[in-house]
Chains A and B, each alone.
Chain A
């Protein structure tokens, strides 16, 4: 099989082209030694099945950023039959350097000049024949967004692939060449002079006008918060009915199809299949609508060019926490749901900064935790106090995010300079938006499903075995674990029943209230009264603090592992959040008791 590497500078529409060429067949591939996800797809080209790989955007083949190292690592370890370089036509005068660097490697190459539509509007004309003659490989103008020139580009690619070459440079040879630094400034200048006509000063009036408002010294930040609030509202108001609908469908399928079907099975197998595996599938499915919506909105924000503007607006504050403005957007989204927020950190191209952002996101009070708090507050506090308690919990959430970022910012110190391009505002096409949402869901399902189902089954086992005792009672394995940890949990006011609820909460916070019903064997008001009798408000508050800070859910853990590609990092996140949860609950509980509350 032929292998085609797609590479180019950031913001040149490389991924748009990849999506156009691959359709929905793209998948995330595993490449040894590479810590970011590389999308790849099999495409039919000139009678060959070729594997097309979307390499991360890079400025300079000899650069030192994480992404530049990934590309070098890839080219130094894998044979490549064709390199397709994607550059932005409007910025060809500086981006051509990348094409010249690739040329030096001697790999079969095709240069694609993207955003032909924008260049045309800006009055730039490029003589591709003259450029190709100077470069020594074919050049094709395209518009990846609208598809213009893409069939011709594929033909050109097929032609290059079918042209017999004496030898394709071996990865080892490429690796050697990559170490040689080069002077190509002069060549670049010559080619541009001969082949490109460009107005001296390019002005995108529309972008300038929008920027004058959106990046306004006083209006910029309020508008940013307003925009974030509206997006957030949209995702979660539109997401709620979809999630409810999904839950309803799953329940319907269970009661009408699965329960009669499995009725004759032994109780343990029935329980394992329905309460274990099927509930696990349900847990995964519940995230699908939110992830789709989140990435529909995120791809709009990202492709429109606003995300880089957010970085500009929020940088001052975030820099103090060792993060940048894009991290802020993700943390904010974490207040809705941690899982897509973690996946969204992929826009951050510096690995340390991305890890730091991923470490703080699970501390944001997501909508699932909100449900637990609303129930506990209604049970233990007067209605007049409810708003204050809720506000306090949000403050604690912000505090833990801030504390974690400050404490870990030296471990995850980003060495990359904060220099970002501000692309002009663009409207993404519906196709671009839809493909992105679909790919992210596929990604989540393929990476997280197994992990989550195993976790749900495990918790089911712990809370239903041994079989001769009441499910979720203190006599089950979960209860025994709760008792085992009593020396640790007593100092924070958490009894065995609540400890079992915390074990359930490890799967998903959505099921905590339901699990309390199972644990106490009561429903509705009776359950609230029983809890209010069993624990006082200090214990309840301690329980809420712990719930707020410790691991949000299995899906978050699974996403953490698949996004960081590091089990060690996943464990760090789990251990840190557990330790912090215990510490803060301990300080609160013992402090309150010391004050005689």
Chain B
């Protein structure tokens, strides 16, 4: 199973599961991270920095540690 942090820039996937405690889960949810949604990795910051992802109309940055909790199905 792939997690979001393993994508290469330009690659897409569908959210399969989100493994997060309630606070993180709610924040992710409010920003559009929902099961079944398409998500694309746009770019990564240098020096192992945050990831820039896109879900629908929303661009979001998040750290590697959070991105590891999001499981994807690859298209």
A residues near B (Cβ < 8 Å) are 9, 59-60, 62-65, 90-91, 93-94, 97-98, 122, 185, 198, 201-202, 207, 211, 215, 217-218, 220-221, 308, 311-313, 315-317, 319, 415-424
Contacts and interface: CB of A to CB of B under 8 A. Distances in A.
Contacts of B62: 417-420
Nearest to B28: A419
A477 to B, nearest CB: 53
A423 B61 CA distance: 11
A316 B57 contact: no
B52 A315 contact: no
Interface residues on B, range: 20 to 34
Contact of B45 (A59, A60, A63, A316): A316
A7 to B, nearest CB: 14
Contact of B61 (A64, A319, A419): A419
Residue from B42, B43, B45 whose CB has the most chain A CB atoms within 10 Å: B45
Interface string B1-43: 0000000000000000000001110111111101000000011
Contacts of A218: 46
Main secondary structure of the interface of B (DSSP, over half): mixed
Contact of A94 (B32, B46, B61): B32
Interface of B: 22-24, 26-32, 34, 42-50, 52, 56-63, 66
A579 B73 CA distance: 55
B30 A94 contact: yes
Contacts of B61: 308, 311-312, 315, 418-420, 422
A9 B60 CA distance: 14
A312 B49 contact: yes
A317 B50 CA distance: 11
A311 B56 CA distance: 22
B35 to A, nearest CB: 10
A60 B56 contact: no
Contacts of A313: 45, 49
B23 A315 contact: no
B43 to A, nearest CB: 6
A420 B66 CA distance: 12
Contact of A97 (B30, B42, B43, B52): B30
Contacts of A319: 63
Contacts of A221: 46
Given A59-B26, A63-B27, A313-B49, A421 B57 contact: no
List the 10 closest A-B pairs by CB distance, nearest first: A59-B30, A202-B57, A64-B23, A422-B59, A316-B49, A94-B32, A316-B47, A419-B62, A60-B30, A312-B61
Residue from B31, B32, B42 whose CB has the most chain A CB atoms within 10 Å: B31
Given A60-B26, A63-B26, A91 B58 contact: yes
B30 A418 contact: no
24 contacts: A63-B23, A90-B57, A91-B57, A93-B56, A122-B57, A202-B57, A207-B59, A211-B42, A217-B46, A221-B46, A312-B45, A312-B61, A313-B45, A316-B47, A316-B50, A416-B27, A417-B27, A418-B50, A418-B62, A419-B27, A419-B61, A419-B63, A421-B60, A422-B61
Contacts of A63: 23, 26-27, 30
